[in-house]
Amino acid sequence: MRALRSTLAISLMVASAAALAMPSFYTVFKQTFKVPEGSALAKANCAVCHSQVPKLNPFGVDIQKAMKELKTNKVTPEVLKKVENLDSDKDGVKNIDEIKKGTLPGDPKSK
């Protein structure tokens, strides 16, 4: 019974942390970049940074690297600025250009 309670408590904490991470990312992301309404990027939710939660796509990996370089555990406008001139998914289009078009900077099929 004790093990079950511990497992449930840990599961709840992990789920809560994941739920809290996305809104703060989206707030900063949308404040930093004007994502075109109705675009693939606006509809992507977790897929902006994840191929499958918790696995990061190339854009998410670059954001994670930038966070480490800037010694922060939050996605900030500075972190996003650091990755905007990269081509995370190696599709020949810079992240910032994909963001402006409303396509996914972590998906090479979306340019």
CA distances from 79 to 14, 69, 71, 86 (A): 24, 9, 10, 12
| Residue percentage of the chain with pLDDT more than 70 | 79
Three-state secondary structure of 48-70: HCEEECCEECHHHHHHHHHHHHC
Residue range 6-17: mean pLDDT, rounded? 46
pLDDT(52) > 50: yes
pLDDT tens profile 54-79? 999 999 999 999 999 999 999 999 99
How much is the mean pLDDT over the chain? 84
Contacts of 99 by beta carbon, 8 Å cutoff, 6+ apart: 33, 35, 41, 84, 105
